[in-house]
Structure 1
Amino acid sequence: MGTCSLAVDIGASSGRLIAGYLQDGLLKLEEVHRFENKMVKKDGHFCWDIDALFQEIKMGIHKCGEKGLDPESIGIDTWAVDFVLLDENDQLLTNAVAYRDPRTDGMMEEVFNIISKERLYLETGIQFQKFNTIYQLYSIKKNNPELLEKAKSFLMLPDYFNYLLTGEKVNEYTNATSTQLVNAFTKKWDKDLLDQLGINKDMFLEIKPPNTELGTLKQDLAEEFGFDMKVLLPATHDTGSAVAAVPEVDDTIYISSGTWSLIGVENRFPICVTKALDYNFTNEGGIDYRYRFLKNIMGLWMIQEVKRNYDNQYSFPELVELADKASDFKSKVNVDDGRFLNPENMIEAIQLYCQETDQPIPETPGEVAKCVFDSLGDSYQNAINQIEEIYEKQFTKINVIGGGCKNEMLNQLIADKTNKKVFAGPVEATAIGNLISQLISVGKIDDIHRARNIVSQSFDLKIYTADKEEKVK
């Protein structure tokens, strides 16, 4: 394979390193390394094991040599909102506390007592979720203010991994916007908001856009790997990279389907209108300073937890098959109810919701899975209806990308509920978006328009319409 670019794509449940290169005008992929990721309990909080994650990144880079790969660049993306703080000696002041940790309980309401909800939305355009970075930081301000006073660098997780690779510290734009602390119009840190909250604004670094070259590997790492390479900034927010890989964005609603489901459209300007606030839509930064106008709703996290609660005795395809056999079961839950964010037992949380709402209680694995998938379908349909109301138009296509697009039952459910044509794929959209950003950076692809054309030619998609399915190139 030889020369390639290397995408590091880390999600809340797994990570992967995927090599990509152009051959005859098509993008080719090769998986180099895959690993699990999960929260761990540390100092009384749910945290990410960032030391272990960085070791997995290094392991994947080492494997390149074993596979005869020669990466000329590397780019890292992860989920959003989570961060670490470094002191004046660049030592960690904080653990990488996970967004599902309860430390933000009640923090959003306290922030609203200082800055109105309407002003926050008008300035940042970001949807309200209790785990947004702004509320995590306010929790530290309230409970451990000395940490903020000592902090010299605020780094989101991809920023931190990039620092470990290069020694360079910057904040990447797409991930920074998810903090609810970046002005949607100036694209810079909103220092007025930070001042009002009493948060140390000096720890925030220069915001750099995707397609930026950060530097090369630190000398000790280049010697350890036996080669050097450029470290580039893709859209480091995984959804930003995933949406960059949507083959066609005109007249298309995308669903980035994974642990979370992100449903929206791509825009050239933020939509900070009252109705968008009421429906809790966000305007996250995207590649080329485009905006991802979307709603972040519960995704496959629920079925991932159901699988774990059944001691992993059923695979995801088996749970889909069991759900299909439980076709007569009709109970549904509100997937965005706070009880499903991080319950001790997801199955029991679902059963209790059904009991409280006077619905039949799911007892079998098939009934539990059917309840989850039907409930997700309702949530998707509701979000799509809201998008069309805000835009005052009907969209004709839905493109499901990411690992969740392999769930044929859910794809068909979306097609049946919306009566729209549903395109499923590409599966590795996040890694693909990461790679095409790198290839644009090194001059091998002209721009995002050409990149999306390459994606559409390089990967097979499936089309689902009401009551039928077909395959398309």
Structure 2
Amino acid sequence: MKTYLAVDIGASSGRHILGWLEDGKLKLKEIYRFKNGAEDQNGHLCWDIDRLESEVTDGIAACETVPESVAVDTWAVDYVLLGKNGERICPAVAYRDSRTETVPDELEKTVPFAWLYGRTGIQMQKFNTVYQLAAQKKEMPDVFEKAEKLLMIPDYLAYRLSGVAVNEYTNASTTAMVSAEHKTWDKEIIARVGLPEKIFGELHKPGEALGGLTERVKEKVGFDLTVRLAASHDTASAFLAVPTKDENAVFLSSGTWSLIGVELKAPVTNDESRAQNFTNEGGYEYRYRYLKNIMGLWMLQNMRQELGDENSFDKLTELAQSAADYKGRIDVNAECFLAPKNMCAAVKNELMKQGFKEPTVPEMLSCVYHSLAESYAETIKALEKLTGKVYTSLNIVGGGSRDEYLNKLTAKACKLPVYAGPTEGTAIGNLIVQMIADGELASVQQARDVVRDSFEIKIYEP
């Protein structure tokens, strides 16, 4: 029996999940889990990339049997730079760091967003890689004289496993520096930002084999296996695991971020799409993930910490339901919720700005739950207008698919049936890519059929 290992790392945690096919069904086993989080390093919010590397190899060593292959997926937009000897020459600054605060406005004359969107189809987010690189160039101009290669975070972790440094397409597409039409780095954008073209390597497809483990890693884990490229942007992997039967379904990858959209065969880069701030991210087999980023469970995760970890998410739901009739709503994508010092205070301030009296904790929670659900509904309406299609269901994967209260509110707000599950959508998508590459699965559609037959999918009617 062949097994495959998915290393799936999110903003708050990472996990190693073994997957295999048994009697036509996909089986999963979590073998390792670790915490993640950005922390202050010399005035910047950074990822502890050395610790992440160590956790990745420790998780591989935890395998009791040797998998056929391993692949790594993470979040998007963040990167490191390598020097001439393959060494990392800059910290892994996190996207929530404030260094890009003024960069989009500063670049508007030379890299106007309307022009940038027309070429890349990537939505405006002040932390997009193009703006991060411009911020680094402003702060550390000398680093680009030493840089030989740019690697996104999962590219770097795969490099540290295999010794092979390449750029994977789906994650690279989120940088706002890849041509939506040609699916290659856009040299004109690179030139306008003033970056060295040599650091941007050829883009490689998910599923490609990089080779075996380096001698250093083999010595640590005790065996060898093939390192493959996943669809290394976690949303690209998560979308592969959506067990949809047709093209009339909206996908929602629900976790720290809520990424809601559809798969398209061609990008949509017109003015109306730009005004609605939809993004065209690269997907597996060059599908386009036409979607919108919504702040997601990040808000509830922070509120839970501030209210005390003894308050489980079930407790938060109970509190929110006790104030279900509260009318206050907020724009969950407002910048004040990106990295506030205190999320509860940020929610409270926004509500009081609108003229509401100081809200109670249950009222704040009810507000966030309802605002998220209504944001999903508004996004689906916009999708229908922009694509000219009518969608008949919403399919939720990821950790947020377990939130029954949010699922019920979402079904009601969207006036669509909601299909929730599987929870480990991102890891499943990672495994699917490996299994297709190794011939265990024939196609994405077969994989989705297997997922539908293998996991419980809960249905919430509007």
TM-score between both structures, scaled by the size of structure 1: 0.96
What amino acid sits opposite 1:27 in the alignment? L
Q: 2:380 aligned to 366, 371, 384, which one?
A: 384
Q: 1:322 aligned to 305, 319, 322, which one?
A: 319
The equivalent residue for 1:471 is none
The equivalent residue for 1:253 is 250
Structure 2 residue matching 1:71: 3-state secondary structure: coil
The equivalent residue for 1:341 is 338
Q: Structure 1 residue 147 and structure 2 residue 146: aligned?
A: no
Shift of 1:220: 2.4
The equivalent residue for 1:34 is 33
The equivalent residue for 1:311 is 308
Shift of 1:427: 0.5
What amino acid sits opposite 1:326 in the alignment? A
What amino acid sits opposite 2:348 in the alignment? Q
Could you give the per-residue CA deviations for residues 203-241 of structure 1, whole angstroms, max 9, x where no partner exists?
111210111111110122223222110001110000000
Shift of 1:128: 0.8
Q: 1:293 aligned to 290, 301, 315, which one?
A: 290
Deviates more, 1:87-96 or 1:218-227: 218-227
Structure 1 residue matching 2:62: 3-state secondary structure: helix
The equivalent residue for 1:195 is 191
Structure 1 residue matching 2:407: 3-state secondary structure: helix
What amino acid sits opposite 1:4 in the alignment? T
What amino acid sits opposite 2:323 in the alignment? A
Q: 2:355 aligned to 355, 358, 363, which one?
A: 358
The equivalent residue for 1:159 is 155
CA distance in 2, matches of 1:36, 1:360: 38
CA distance in 2, matches of 1:400, 1:226: 38
Contact kept, 8 Å, 1:7 with 1:17, in 2: the verdict is yes
Q: Structure 1 residue 70 and structure 2 residue 66: aligned?
A: yes
Runs of 5+ consecutive residues of structure 1 not aligned to the other structure: 467-473
Shift of 1:367: 2.2
Could you give the per-residue CA deviations for residues 435-471 of structure 1, whole angstroms, max 9, x where no partner exists?
01000111111111211111111111011112xxxxx
The equivalent residue for 1:448 is 444
Q: Structure 1 residue 182 and structure 2 residue 185: aligned?
A: no
Runs of 5+ consecutive residues of structure 2 not aligned to the other structure: none
Contact kept, 8 Å, 1:20 with 1:29, in 2: the verdict is yes
CA distance in 2, matches of 1:309, 1:179: 32
Q: Structure 1 residue 231 and structure 2 residue 217: aligned?
A: no
What amino acid sits opposite 2:314 in the alignment? P
The equivalent residue for 1:419 is 415
Percent of aligned pairs sharing the same letter: 46
What amino acid sits opposite 2:41 in the alignment? K
Structure 2 residue matching 1:175: 3-state secondary structure: helix
Structure 1 segments (4+ residues) deviating >3 Å: none
Shift of 1:372: 1.0
Could you give the per-residue CA deviations for residues 124-154 of structure 1, whole angstroms, max 9, x where no partner exists?
1111100000000000112211111211110
Q: Structure 1 residue 104 and structure 2 residue 100: aligned?
A: yes
What amino acid sits opposite 2:441 in the alignment? I
Shift of 1:329: 2.1
CA distance in 1, matches of 2:167, 2:388: 35
The equivalent residue for 1:438 is 434
Structure 1 residue matching 2:67: 3-state secondary structure: strand
Q: Structure 1 residue 283 and structure 2 residue 269: aligned?
A: no
Alignment of 1:44-83 (within 5 A): 44-65=43-64, 69-83=65-79
The equivalent residue for 1:125 is 121
Contact kept, 8 Å, 1:3 with 1:70, in 2: the verdict is no
Q: Structure 1 residue 243 and structure 2 residue 239: aligned?
A: yes
CA distance in 2, matches of 1:118, 1:210: 30
TM-score between both structures, scaled by the size of structure 2: 0.98
